[in-house]
Amino acid sequence: MQQFIERNFELTKGGQVTIRFFRPEPREVDYCCEYAIIWPDRERRFHGYGIDEVQALLLAMQNAHMDLLASPEGKAGELTWLGMRNLDLPLPKTMATDDFK
């Protein structure tokens, strides 16, 4: 896996969270984009699958965003980006940031 892009988020009680997306790779009939969320005390790894590299990255970003918002810190409003609760990552059309409070 080759790291592709990353973003850092702030924790209001101190510290940061880093999300790393890895370059989408071809699988049998589609593409897989792995990601890692690195918290001060833990790490979460998952992925998104898509018919091409763009869709795999987009779905990985949506999954990662939901992981961040569903975390205890996300639900408590303690996770921010540039001081805002809006983490500026995509979500599925049927979801909104407020769904994770």
Q: CA 36, CA 27: separation in Å to the nearest integer?
A: 19
Q: What's the chain look like in SS3?
A: CCEEEEEEEEECCCCEEEEEEECCEECCCCEEEEEEEECCCCEEEEEEEECCHHHHHHHHHHHHHHHHHHCHHHHCCCEEECCECCCCCCCCCCCCHHHHC
Average pLDDT, the chain: 94
Residue 19 zone, left/alpha/beta (φ > 0; ψ -120 to 50; rest): beta
pLDDT average, residue stretch 60-69: 97
pLDDT average, residue stretch 54-59: 98
pTM given for the model: 0.92
